[in-house]
Structure 1
Amino acid sequence: MTLLFVEDDSMIGESTCVLLKQAGFNVHWAKTGTQALQLFDNHDYEFVLLDLGLPGLDGTQVLQRIRKVSDLPILILTARDNVEDRVSGLEQGADDYLVKPYHIDELLARIRALLRRAKGATQTEYMLGDIKIIPAAHAVYKNDQLIEVSAKEWSIIETLAATPNCIFSREQLEQKISEKQDILQSNTIEVHIHNIRQKLGKNFIKTIRGLGYKIGNLEQ
């Protein structure tokens, strides 16, 4: 998944780009509003991270121009934390607003939430080879045969399938499951992933050394 990241602060931009790439995103970084629009006109993006305080053409103008031609998710990143600025950004077409300094885990969570929202009700199933996942039914099929999975196994499958190009750390998966289930043991994620692979194949969930887990290449 390719996203456009617009940020003029070199320190924030460099560190955020590294973390976004580690999470599985392909990132194009623009340091000015003019550069952002040039990139936007020449590439197909699925998401925009947009700072407001840009030199020259500011983030609000960039937001307005993108919104004239596209409804892709836009998350504003800015040091402007007063209510008026937040309301103005949302009314002009932003989908969400995150105030600096932000934590990368919260940033990733908001990106994933907006991507899920953008897919909407039309996303009824995912395919990976002979595996079919139907989120609304909490059902997983292999070769058209229904596979029984536990609630925690389903939570992992659903989380990874919703954003197939993203890498989730063990801690992120633990947090996701614990929102719906009980407190987890330290090795719970590894155990459940092992069980999922036993049921759906060893390549269904890939281990990205030093980073975490991602699902295979899903067809949507």
Structure 2
Amino acid sequence: MRIHLLIADDDPHIRELLRFIFKKEGYVVFEAEDGGQASRIMENELIHLAVVDVMMPAKDGLELCREIREHYDIPVMMLTAKGEIEDKEKGFHSGTDDYLVKPFEPKELLFRVRALLRRYQMVSSEEIRLNDTLIDRKSYEVKIGGESIVIPLKEFELLAQLAANPGRIFTREQLIRLIWGADYEGGSRTIDVHIKRLRERFADRSDDFVITTIRGLGYKLEVRGS
């Protein structure tokens, strides 16, 4: 099956460049000149990944990203001229998986897109493998080198969420909503406590992955040696 990509950018020159880059790699490309048109395409076409500009008329990229997060289970890359840390923070808070600043190297864009597509395929898997560590979503077990480790349910769900999206930054608010639910009344401090427990639990058991704190944003899991 060929991969369908959506480009949402109001600059026709950027759309032309992206169309050339992606079609050369064999991707099917859909184009939108604003966020509203992108939403309509999403409603009518099967899209596997969206490349979204931040500053667009009708509906900006942040709003579009939040909409995609709410209704679709696909990776999103923000491609924008806004490169300040505050802009990146807004992008990740809206739910983007990756953030690339213009001007960009086409080669870097392509390997980031491939990485996002690989992560997305991992999300739908019942088993997540991080080198010698296996996270089994059916049995709620973590296996390291054949040894089975049973951990508390919320810790497991938190680890599985991060591991299914290696490299993706999740804010504390996103993790609360994903693991505990939108109606959870506890604070985001809950995430910090569970992350601390996960780190302590696996510190002497596995070198396959590390959970990294992204200051001012949240957390991400990185696979070592990848």
- TM-score normalised by L of structure 1: 0.57
Is the contact between residue 152 and residue 177 of structure 1 (CA under 8 Å) also seen in structure 2? yes
When the two chains are superposed, the root-mean-square deviation of aligned CA atoms in Å is 4.4
Query: Aligned match of 1:206 in 199, 205, 212?
Result: 212
Distance 1:90 1:164, change over 3 A: same
Equivalent residue of 2:223, what SS? coil
Query: What residue is the counterpart of 1:100 in the other structure?
Result: 59
Provide, for residues 94-138 of structure 1, a one-character-per-residue CA deviation record: whole Å limited to 9, x for no partner: 469998245376257359822599638973422224321112322
Query: What residue is the counterpart of 1:8 in the other structure?
Result: 9
Query: What residue is the counterpart of 1:72 in the other structure?
Result: none
Distance 1:79 1:108, change over 3 A: closer
Equivalent residue of 1:189, what SS? helix
Is the contact between residue 134 and residue 140 of structure 1 (CA under 8 Å) also seen in structure 2? yes
Provide, for residues 124-173 of structure 1, a one-character-per-residue CA deviation record: whole Å limited to 9, x for no partner: 42222432111232221223222222221122112112211211111211
Structure 1 unaligned blocks of 5 or more:
11-29, 54-76
- Is 1:190 the counterpart of 2:192? The answer is yes
Instruction: State the identity %.
Output: 26
Structure 2 unaligned blocks of 5 or more:
53-57, 76-116
Is the contact between residue 6 and residue 31 of structure 1 (CA under 8 Å) also seen in structure 2? no
Query: What residue is the counterpart of 2:19 in the other structure?
Result: 37
| Bigger mean CA deviation after superposition, 110-119 or 188-197 | 110-119
Q: Distance in 2 between matches of 1:183 and 1:204?
A: 28
Q: Distance in 2 between matches of 1:138 and 1:39?
A: 41
Q: Return the structure number with greater relative CO, CA threshold 8 A, min gap 6.
A: 1
Equivalent residue of 1:114, what SS? coil
Is the contact between residue 164 and residue 216 of structure 1 (CA under 8 Å) also seen in structure 2? yes
Is the contact between residue 122 and residue 164 of structure 2 (CA under 8 Å) also seen in structure 1? no
- Give how far 1:218 is off: 7.4
Aligned pairs, number: 170
| Bigger mean CA deviation after superposition, 182-191 or 165-174 | 182-191
How do 1:113-192 and structure 2 match up within 5 A?
A: 113-114=73-74, 119=121, 123-179=125-181, 182-192=184-194
Provide, for residues 158-208 of structure 1, a one-character-per-residue CA deviation record: whole Å limited to 9, x for no partner: 211221121111121112122288432341111101111111228531222
